Amino acid sequence: DIQLTQSPSFLSASVGDRVTITCRASQDISSYLAWYQQKPGKAPELLIHAASSLQSGVPSRFRGSGSGTEFTLTISSLQPEDFATYYCQQLYSYPLTFGGGTKVDIK
């Protein structure tokens, strides 16, 4: 199975901050990586697919980059509605796996 390691697990930030979350894969997954945002009591929402493609309707302050084994999700200017938990997922091979999540909280 491909393991995904997200870091940090938790981060505290302020509105307007630039935030970067990292997802490392245990083997090369090319660009088969997605990022999701999940708010309490809600289903995850797709932000980024194919490592760097912005899902339709997602604000441009979200940016995904990377390929191979190292990926990043960057929020250029954190907004109040961005406080949530973020997950990466690899779709390169079965079983599909998720990272452990990164909770972004208000400083």
Partner 1 sequence: QVQLQESGPGLVKPSETLSLICTVSGYSIGRGYYWAWIRQPPGKGLEWIGSIYHSGSTYYNPSLKSRVTISVDTSQNQFSLRLTSVTAADTAVYYCARVVNSGSDYWGQGTLVTVSS
Task: Specify the DSSP element, H or E, that contains 72.
Answer: strand 70-75
Q: In the 8-state DSSP scheme, what is residue 55?
A: P
Judged by CB under 8 A, does residue 32 bind partner 1?
yes
Gap between the Cα atoms of 85 and 30, Å rounded: 24
**Single-letter code of the amino acid located at 46:** L
Our CB check for partner 1 shows the closer of 17 and 100 to be 100
Judged by CB under 8 A, does residue 97 bind partner 1?
yes
- The interface region with partner 1, picked from 18-26, 66-74, 76-84, 90-98 by CB under 8 A, is 90-98
The answer to whether the beta carbons of residues 22 and 71 sit under 8 Å apart is: yes
Handedness of CA 40, 45, 50, 54 (dihedral sign): negative
Contacting partner 1 within 1-20 (CB under 8 A): 1
Judged by CB under 8 A, does residue 89 bind partner 1?
yes
List residues near partner 1 by CB under 8 A: 1, 31-34, 36, 42-46, 48-51, 53, 55, 87, 89, 91, 94-101
